[in-house]
Amino acid sequence: MKNVFKMIGIIAITAVIGISCTTSDGGVKNTDPKTLIITGVTGTTGNQFTILVAGADGKAVAGAQRVTISETMNIQLYKPGPAGEFSLPAYGGWTGTGEYFITLNEASAGTAYFQSYSSTMIKFEDTETTVDWSVFKKR
């Protein structure tokens, strides 16, 4: 009889754990490399952006360099390298989550034209984060 109650208890606990795993993410964050998609890009005069993703403290956690400007940009974000560069896949794709500001530095042939920044913090949660050009303000 004791064995029957033990077996029923084990089955019940297994069922509860199984249900909780399928109905909740359990606090597990998405750790896939992140892609930033900027849509509706207009009014730029340069041909490339350097993109920085930074926390409220201003510290860059991710970025991309030499991104060709187009109306819709799909940008793979990278971890910073030892010299602060973000263009080398050797350092790996950025897998962070949370809310960050985005800064865009527009340049053409090494000449900086302007810097834009997101007026609000952008939430990075999923593998792809889409932001409309209208959230960027020229500095």
Residue 66: inside a domain, yes or no? Answer: yes
Compute φ and ψ for 87, nearest 5 degrees: -95, -10
Residue 15: inside a domain, yes or no? Answer: no
- CATH number at 113 reads 2.60.40
Residue 42: inside a domain, yes or no? Answer: yes
Which stretch of 8-17, 37-46, 85-94, 108-117 has the lowest confidence by average pLDDT?
8-17
The total of structural domains in the chain comes to 1
Domain, as residue range, for 56: 35-138
Query: Is pLDDT of 16 > 60?
Result: no
Per residue in 56-95, pLDDT tens?
Answer: 888 889 988 878 888 998 998 988 888 777 766 677 889 9
Residue 118: inside a domain, yes or no? Answer: yes
Apex CA 124: angle with CA 39 and CA 53, to 5°?
75
**Total length of the chain:** 139
Query: Is pLDDT of 120 > 90?
Result: no
